[in-house]
């Protein structure tokens, strides 16, 4: 996020994270995070010190703490950093821009959950994140999937030109790109990491704007059925990568 500043991040936080009643599809997004918490916790099981990039609404931070994950947060928005400290007493919150964060001690795992689709230059950031890991440490990267079922249907219907075309919602939340698994793997491996596991969740059939009045039972089922499907079919894709010892 080289073009961003803490002030700009505060403005975005106020628009999207701190005024949740104005975000119509937040319940759709929250259910996805809730479903993914177990997947993320399993991917970093046994890691002694874990860094999460960005606090957001705090749902993932709380879910991982509830599961006993020894998590710390690095957050560039002073508003969100204060929110994190207030909501989670005892949580270690590092107030810094991701690229500038230089801890004294390396981490066992770093979580970049829906981060690299926002930044100007993903590969330099991923290389920096690899440098935050101890030898044998894990990086978990999650991004929106260009090959998601809802994007495939949109192309078939002529609603978007290409699978990787950015929607109005993508622009609203600051996405600069979406990824295929192969593209994500290439970016992660460019940082000198070895990809060891693929992740995916949420069988998204339509844009969020067309699911606002869907019953929660259906949205939950579309998340739970993810466990039976290949990541390439799902809305969110991720990789677990390891730093060579």
Encode pLDDT of 187-219 as tens digits: 999 999 999 999 999 999 999 999 999 999 999
d(CA 155, CA 118): 23
Helix or strand (DSSP H, E) at 82: helix 78-87
Phi-psi region of 126 (alpha: psi -120 to 50; beta: other; left: phi over 0): alpha
Report residue 23's pLDDT band, with 50, 70 and 90 as the boundaries: confident
Report residue 18's pLDDT band, with 50, 70 and 90 as the boundaries: low
Q: What is the pLDDT of residues 66-106, one digit of tens each?
A: 999 999 999 999 999 999 999 999 999 999 999 999 999 99
d(CA 244, CA 138): 10
Residue 1 has pLDDT above 50, yes or no: no
In sequence order, the 6+-apart residues with CB closer than 8 A to the CB of 171 are: none
Q: Of the given ranges (1-15, 41-55, 59-73, 231-245), which has the lowest mean pLDDT?
A: 1-15
Instruction: Please check whether residue 94 is in contact with residue 74, taking contact to mean a CB–CB distance below 8 angstroms.
Output: yes
* DSSP state letters, 102-163: --SS-EEEEEEET-TTTSS-HHHHHHHHHHTEEEEEEEEEEEEBTT-HHHHHHHHTTSSSST
Q: 6-243, what's its fold? A: Rossmann fold (3.40.50)
Instruction: Kindly list the domain boundaries of the chain, sorted by start residue.
Output: 6-243
pLDDT at 5: 84
Residue-level length of the chain: 245
């Amino acid at each position: 996020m080289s073009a961003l500043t803490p002030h700009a991040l505060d403005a975005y936080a106020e628009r999207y994270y701190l005024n949740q009643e104005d975000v119509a599809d937040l319940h759709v997004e929250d259910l996805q995070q809730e479903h993914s918490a177990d997947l993320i916790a399993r991917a970093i099981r046994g890691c002694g010190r874990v860094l999460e990039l960005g606090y957001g609404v705090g749902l993932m931070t709380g879910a991982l703490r509830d599961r006993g994950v020894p998590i710390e947060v690095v957050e560039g928005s002073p508003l969100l950093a204060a929110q994190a400290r207030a909501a989670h007493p005892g949580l270690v919150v590092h107030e810094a821009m991701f690229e500038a964060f230089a801890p004294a001690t390396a981490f066992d795992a770093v979580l970049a959950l829906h981060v690299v689709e926002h930044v100007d230059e993903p590969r330099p950031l991923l290389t920096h994140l690899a440098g935050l890991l101890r030898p044998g440490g894990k990086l978990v990267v999650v991004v929106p999937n260009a090959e998601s079922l809802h994007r495939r249907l949109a192309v078939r219907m002529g609603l978007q030109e290409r699978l990787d075309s950015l929607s109005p919602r993508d622009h609203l939340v600051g996405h600069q790109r979406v990824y295929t698994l192969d593209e994500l793997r290439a970016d992660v491996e460019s940082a000198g990491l070895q990809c060891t596991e693929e992740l995916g969740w949420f069988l998204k059939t339509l844009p969020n704007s067309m699911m606002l009045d869907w019953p929660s039972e259906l949205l939950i089922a579309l998340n739970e059925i993810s466990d039976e499907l290949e990541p390439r079919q799902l809305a969110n894709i991720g990789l677990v990568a390891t730093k060579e010892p």
